[in-house]
Structure 1
Amino acid sequence: MTTYAVTGATGGLGGSAVRALISRGVEPGDIVAVARDAAKAADLSDAGVNVRVADYTDRAALDTALAGVDKLLMVSGSEVGQRVAQHTNVIEAAVAVGVDLIAYTSILRADSSPLALATEHVATEKILGDSGIGFVLLRNGWYSENYLSSAPTAIEGGVFYGSAGDGRVAPAARSDYADAAASALLSAGPGEIFELVGPQHLSYADIAATFAEVGGREVRYQNLPEADYAAALVDAGIPAPFATVLADSDAGVGSGALDSDSTDLVELLGRPAVSFTEVIRSGLASTV
């Protein structure tokens, strides 16, 4: 019997990965959901999943949470700037308790990416490589859901702003990244690297057209210089450090950093990927 664990199990990706493992035939009792708040994981507990409480900053709690685990899906932390230390705690705990394999959610082509977001992922990949533990890299591209927050304003005002120029992005649904992660955790071996993107290659003009299709009114794309886009995000209420990261990522789209012809995602899924339009349509419908 193999025991699987997923960190960040109450988050969008982690929770979906737990459910994907179950849908792929893993018994709930063979899954450990690692969460900071057990109350938020009540649905998983009710389904028979073993919920264990641990925070990425609490090494002792991580040791306890990962005891008896064979394979671990380590979902990258959400606190940019703190993730290397947090991931180190998880990796060291996994080594200490004898976890056989860690699958880590990194970023597309981390080892060559120009994105500011890639820095902590590169560092984590190195720590994994130096740890002696078996590991699988799930290098996720951009989430289709990343564009949901822009959609209502773009539809209302008729303009979608960004700093991607004529570049293209190959986004995928969060649920697809989660299902691919579950598939890899079940089947991949140490040293495998998956570059995960959706099959659509969209310009920001295409994304504006999707907003127009879903919203039922004209939307055009307006490109801004990176610094101007960052300033606009700050004006919209986004904290300056994060606005800078978002603008940097948009510029990365312009340079091709979030586009790829890799078919790893659909191969892991074993089915067609969810379309960008479907994510936007369902996401907007859920907010009405």
Structure 2
Amino acid sequence: MTVIAVTGATGQFGAAAVRTLLSRGVAADSVVAVVRNADRAADLAAQGVAVRVADYTDPGALRTALDGVNRLLLVSGSEVGQREAQHRNVIAAAEAAGVSLIAYTSLLKADTSTIGLAPEHVATERMLADSPVAAVVLRNTWYWENYASSIESAAQSGVLLGSGDDGRIAGAARADLAEAAALVISAPDGSADVKDGTVLELAGPAVTYSELADAIARVSGAEVAYRNVTSSEHAEVLTGAGLPAPVVDLLVNADAGIARGDLFSDSDDLARVLGRAPLTAAEALQAAVG
């Protein structure tokens, strides 16, 4: 029996990946949910999933959590600036536990991206390349859900504001990316998607910010148009709206990357793995707001 572990299994991405594994016929007793808080995984435990507690900062707990695991879906940590060290801990624990395959959730075009999130992903990809454990890199695009919080304000003001110029965003729904990750980590031995060194650029149908404004208009029922501003103006508006400085920096930096084409790809890897077309921006945003 192949035992599959998923880190961050109570987070939105990890939980969706576990749900896909179970819905696609992977036996619950062959799934390990690695979590920081067992109480939050009570529903998984009730379904027969093995729940093991380990933090990315605790090498010993990680080694214990991965005991008997054959394949590992390493969902990248959420603590920007700490992830390189945290991922090193997970990879070392996987090596010690005898894990045979790691699939890692990286960033779209990480090796060429100028987005500030990229360096930690590149560092992790290098660790995996140097590891004796076989590895598959899942370069995830931007979540469409990142724009869900903008729907209400854009509908009220009639303006979607950003600094991405006419750059194209090949975004995807979080659920689609999580489903793809689950399908890859559970793929049969010999499948091309689990061959050591495989890199998948997981991108969806691309839109410009003007087209994203149209999608928000369809979801909200209000007239919405995109207004492009400079990076400094964008930062000023976000700061004035009360966002903390690290979030402001992240959003403005991401838009600068979008303007440079960092979040565009015409790769069909995501559609191929899913066996269907990924959700469009409008479809994903509609699902996000219910």
TM-score normalised by length of structure 1: 0.96
Give the corresponding residue for 1:102.
Answer: 102
- For residue 221 of structure 1, give the secondary structure of its aligned residue in structure 2: strand
2:105–2:140 contact (8 Å) kept in structure 1: yes
Are 2:234 and 1:220 aligned? no
TM-score normalised by length of structure 2: 0.96
Give the corresponding residue for 1:39.
Answer: 39
1:231 deviates by 2.3
2:141–2:171 contact (8 Å) kept in structure 1: yes
Identity within the alignment, %: 53
**CA RMSD, 1 decimal:** 1.0
Are 2:179 and 1:179 aligned? yes
Are 2:200 and 1:194 aligned? yes
Give the corresponding residue for 1:21.
Answer: 21
Aligned residue identity for 1:219? V
Are 2:53 and 1:53 aligned? yes
1:235 deviates by 1.8
1:175 deviates by 0.6
Are 2:131 and 1:131 aligned? yes
- For residue 186 of structure 2, give the secondary structure of its aligned residue in structure 1: helix
Give the corresponding residue for 2:255.
Answer: 250
1:281 deviates by 1.3
C-alpha distance in structure 2 between counterparts of 1:24 and 1:271, whole Å? 15
- For residue 52 of structure 1, give the secondary structure of its aligned residue in structure 2: strand
2:73–2:102 contact (8 Å) kept in structure 1: yes
1:19 deviates by 0.8
1:217 deviates by 1.4
Q: 2:266 aligns with which of 261, 269, 287?
A: 261
C-alpha distance in structure 2 between counterparts of 1:180 and 1:214, whole Å? 25
Give the corresponding residue for 2:191.
Answer: none
- For residue 168 of structure 1, give the secondary structure of its aligned residue in structure 2: coil
2:129–2:197 contact (8 Å) kept in structure 1: no
C-alpha distance in structure 1 between counterparts of 2:23 and 2:29, whole Å? 13
Following TM superposition, the consecutive aligned residue runs of length 4 or more in structure 1 with deviations greater than 6 angstroms are none
Give the corresponding residue for 1:6.
Answer: 6
1:272 deviates by 2.3
1:211 deviates by 1.1
1:255 deviates by 1.1
Cα offsets for 1:51-78 (capped at 9, x unmatched): 1111101111101100000000000000
Cα offsets for 1:145-198 (capped at 9, x unmatched): 011011111111111111110111011111100110011112222111100011
Give the corresponding residue for 1:87.
Answer: 87
- For residue 79 of structure 1, give the secondary structure of its aligned residue in structure 2: coil
1:44 deviates by 1.1
- For residue 6 of structure 1, give the secondary structure of its aligned residue in structure 2: strand
Aligned residue identity for 1:26? V
C-alpha distance in structure 2 between counterparts of 1:220 and 1:252, whole Å? 21
C-alpha distance in structure 2 between counterparts of 1:237 and 1:90, whole Å? 35
Aligned residue identity for 1:180? A
Aligned residue identity for 2:13? L
5+ residue gaps, structure 1: none
